[in-house]
Structure 1
Amino acid sequence: MKTLNILNRYFSFAVVLFSLLLTVTNVNAQKAAAPQIKNVVLVHGAFADGSGWQGLYKVLTKKGYNVTIVQNPLSSLEDDVKATNLALDKQDGPTILVGHSWGGTVITEAGNHPKVAALVYVAALQPDKGENSVQWLQTAPPAPENGVLAPDEKGIAYYDKAKFHAGFAGDLSKEQADFMYASQGAFYAQGFLTPITNAAWRTKPSYGIVATEDKSIVPSIQVAMYKRSNTKITEIKGSHVVFISQPEKVANVIIEASFKK
């Protein structure tokens, strides 16, 4: 009987010890799995405004991220970088900086901000120092659906209304595309000709989403830029506004970037 009591006590101790070890292991695993970067700044491109990020904003905020949306003035590269830097100044710590389309050029410059921990390019331009956006847009024939018009007498470029749905937002409803067209900002085309002075992707971890159905920046251009910069590539089936049509998949890339390696 005495031996049985000793065995029972030993067994009980072993169970308690195992439970404690399991708890510690689970806590450590949760700490390891928790993203260390919770701030995300989203930068829209030309022929758009910040309202397009709403779906992605909802996905990320539900997962606990602090999301800020930049409203680019679209008046010049310098002005858009300034607007992005103002948003970055207000962040309380390390931040993932995300750019779509022309916004990729903006984050390439603004990404040198000390609070930027990583860059995410969403169907975006990614020039190097001394390069401008047009150089890359001219490296492959445009899709026939592309509707970027020549600048008007004020130097402002717009997207052709007749081509906007197919060329810019082909996987959205006509109603959604019509709203996007109506809310696009006035983009001063000189921005496309302004060279980058310091490419942040050379010193910051970079992630790139290739929209495989893109008719505004054809996928081959996106792939060429991202491969040149050793950006980690994720392909997602979607139009130029893949962040609207596939917000969960785009969010997954941002979330991946938020985990420090």
Structure 2
Amino acid sequence: MNNGRDRIIYKNLCENLGNVPTEDQASALEKIASYITDNSTGEIFLLTGYAGTGKTSVISSVVRTLDRLRMKSVLLAPTGRAAKVLASHAGKQAFTIHRKIYRQKSLKDGTGSFVLDRNLSRNTYFIVDESSMISNTASESSVFGSGSLLDDLLEYVYSGTDCRLILVGDNAQLPPVGSVVSPALDRMVLEGYGFGIIAAELRHVVRQSESSGVLMNATNIRLQVSEGRLDHPLLDCRNYKDVVRISGENLIEELSDSYGAC
């Protein structure tokens, strides 16, 4: 951190986190503090992390800190469900990206299409969760803007006066249909739009690390994949209530019992 204001903001971020930050979280919060104090509007902050590493806690801390500093923020997510989850954790209303950045054209033309709205915000941080879902592939059948959600999001945010963008997500999530990677979480893709990237990654699992067998196994497999040493997945089913070993002969019956009422 380069100055006293960085340190003050970092202290606020840590206080609003609600727990002692992990080493990864502390590093991310330091970078976020510097991002907030930097006046450059040509940069994007990219926060990635495994499931359970505290990304949502960091987002909530940023929102509360910005509120304390009387700075504005807008929470966005690709889907309505993701927006509701984000709002419940951050304690602040969240919108779907489509609802925020598009407006419907006049129905007189009979198309029912949506165009990019004007961003009238000033000095506002747009924080987008679940960014792995955002596609940059233009669809001819899309009725929204250019057809590329990532293109339209970037244009909308940075057309506002001194507005900035924080993209949050998990690279291990499935990318958008037709994409090999999640473009909104890919540094090279974002740099291709002409933006500088400040990135932080969370790797240390803090949520349910001891009680969740699903999270523990998912994290272990992910680490093995990243280190190139996964021949086949080995699952630890011991002492976890949420992981059960089922024989092949009982699988169909278990599936029927679990999903029969759906």
- TM-score bracket, shorter-length normalisation: 0.3 to 0.5
**Alignment TM-score, normalising by the size of structure 1:** 0.32
Please say which structure displays the higher CA radius of gyration: 1
Higher helix share goes to which structure?
Answer: 1
Normalising by structure 2, what TM-score? 0.32
